[in-house]
Amino acid sequence: MSSRHRIRVTVNGRAYERDVQGRRLLVDFLRHDLGLYGTHVGCEQGVCGACTVLLDGQVVKSCLMLAPQADGRTLTTVEGLAGRGELHPVQEAFREAHGLQCGYCTPGFLLSAVALADRGVVLEGKSLRAELAGNLCRCTGYQNIVEAVERYLRQTVGSRRG
């Protein structure tokens, strides 16, 4: 419990080296040790998806991992999508489609959408809704989130194929 581990991670292209407790959750490490507050905590049980990040390109829930498990790995959080530049296409799609209200669940949805685009499939309607079931939202009723992701996938994956 009180064991300490020296870990090296790359987050949003930047390398970090830190000492952490063995029981430190990855999401707490990202937020409170690295100051990357865009990744949120909603349930600590892997249900709501507010803490979704990409670990070596794969969608993971950072509340279900311990920080030492990320040693040597590469992470992307919402702060890594656009940096300080123009909004990333997925962010722009959410803005255009009014795909967010309180914005608390939004970073998790954005990263899930990016992972879908990386798989190179254009989904819509019910099949897309099934893919988004790992993220919960209480404000939007999902309709505009689905529309935003459809729009983003069409643009991104569609144009890659195009």
Partner 1 sequence: MDKLPWVGVSVKRKEDERLLRGAGRFLDDLDDTVALHAAIGRCPYPHARIRGIDPGGALEMAGVEAVLLGRDVVARTEPTNVLRPFPGAATTAYYAMAHPVARYEGEPVVAVAARDRYEAEDALERIAIDWEPLPHVVDAEEALRSGSPLLFDQVPSNLLAASTVKAGDPDAAFRQAAAVVKGKLRINRVTGLPIETRGLLARYSDQTRTLEVWSSTQTPHLVRAQLAHVLRMAESDIRVIAPDVGGGFGIKMCVYPEDVVVCLLAIDIGRPVKWVEDRVEHFRGCTHAREAVHELELAGSADGTLTALRDRYVIDAGAYNSPFGPPMLTNLMLPGPYRLRDGEIERRVALTNKVPVGPYRGYGQPESNFVREVLLDRLARKLGQDPADLRRKNLLRPDELPFQNLTGATYDSGDYVRCLDLALSRVGYDEVRAGQAAWRREHRYVGVGVSCYAEFTGYPSSAFLGRTGAGFGAYESVTIRMDRAGRAAIYTGVSTFGQGMETTFAQVCASSLGLEPADITIYGGDSRGTPYSVGGFASRTMIAGAGAIATATGEIRAKMLRLAGHLLGVAPEHLEVAAGVVRRTDDPSVQLSIREVSEAAFLGHRLPPGDDPGLEATAYHDPPASAFGYGSVAARVEVDPRSGAFDLQRYVLVHDCGTQVNPMIVEGQIHGGIAQGLAAALFEELQYDRDTGQLVNGTLVDYFAPSAADLPRFELDHLETPAPATSLGVKGVGEGGTIGAAAAVANAIGDALAPFGVELDRLPITAESVWRALEAARSRPAAAVN
Residues near partner 1 (CB under 8 A): 21, 23, 31-32, 35-45, 47-48, 50, 77-79, 81-82, 87, 91, 94-96, 98, 100-107, 110, 125-126, 128-130, 132-146
Nearer to partner 1, 74 or 104 (CB): 104
Shortest approach of partner 1 to residue 162 CB, angstroms? 26
**CB nearer to partner 1: pick between 107 and 162:** 107
Between 72 and 133, CB nearer to partner 1: 133
Q: How far is the CB of 79 from partner 1 (least distance, A)?
A: 5
Relative to beta strand 14-21, strand 52-55 is: unpaired
Neighbours of 69 (CB within 10 A): 14
Least Å distance, CB 121 to partner 1, is 16
Report the alpha-carbon distance of residue 123 to residue 29 in Å, rounded: 33
Cα 161 from Cα 142, distance rounded (Å): 27
21 phi/psi in degrees, rounded to 5: -70, 150
CB of 21 to partner 1, least distance (A): 7
Residue 47 or 115: the one with the smaller Cβ distance to partner 1 is 47
Which phi and psi (to 5°) does residue 111 adopt? Answer: -70, -35
Residues 32 and 16: their CA atoms lie apart, in Å, by: 14
Find tokens 């509340």 and name the residue: 63
